[in-house]
Amino acid sequence: MENSANHLGQESASPDEHTLLVQQLFVKHQQPLLAYVLSIVPNLPDAQDIVQAVFLVVTRKAATWTSGSNFIAWACSIARYEAMHHLRSAKTRGATLDHDVLDLLHSEEVVDDRFTEQIDLLADCLQRLSPRASELILLRYHSGHMPEAIALSVQWSVNAVRVALTRARVALRECLERNQAMEAHRQ
């Protein structure tokens, strides 16, 4: 996991350069941040809105992040605050975790190296899917479309979309299990 500045020297970095570095790190780690927010707010469109709000806060508070410290932990603490604010202000429907439970689940090392490795393995497995299967997975889980909407988009029956999504999920799970076994074997 990268916790420090890449090519910008922080000793001589101007405030604008430091803010740009923070924004670059945010973009680099946006998917793990989204996954973290989804663990609190399980609605993808809401989680994406929260991540956008986090970007604005991270940009505004860039000067408070110290180069070399754990960027993801810092950004996740901001994301947690924004997610909790969303839950309070939206008076969300349905069951959500109690604030005390969320406090217990939250730690400084929210997204560790293993989680980042899992995200990388998943991205690799997504690339190994057929283009159509990858498109269906992205429509369902990245864009948040339901099978009925996907069926209209790709001009398939709803049942065909559900079957294709099930096969794609099985292929992803098998790929992840193979990659994890290979990683464990290397260590």
Identity of the residue numbered 136: L
* Residue 83: closest CA among 33, 118, 119: 33
Confirm if 137 and 53 have CB atoms less than 8 A apart: no
Residues of the chain with CATH 1.10.10.10: 113-186
pLDDT at 94 over 50: no
The model scores a pTM over 0.75: no
Residues present in the chain in total: 187
Across residues 16-30, what is the average pLDDT? 91
Give me the helix-helix angle, 44-60 and 71-90, nearest 10°: 120
Q: What is the pLDDT of residues 41-91, one digit of tens each?
A: 877 788 889 999 999 999 999 999 998 888 888 998 899 889 888 888 765
Residues of the chain with CATH 1.10.1740.10: 15-105
Give pLDDT, residue 20: 93
pLDDT at 28 over 80: yes
Domain 15-105 falls under CATH 1.10.1740.10: yes
- DSSP H helices in the chain: 15-28, 30-40, 44-60, 71-90, 99-105, 113-128, 131-137, 147-154, 158-186
How many angstroms separate the CA atoms of 68 and 13, rounded? 14
Name which CATH class applies to 113-186.
mainly alpha
Across residues 11-34, what is the average pLDDT? 84
The pLDDT-based confidence of 9 (bands split at 50, 70, 90) is: very low
Q: What is the pLDDT of residues 107-161, one digit of tens each?
A: 444 455 566 677 777 778 888 889 999 889 888 877 778 899 999 999 999 999 9
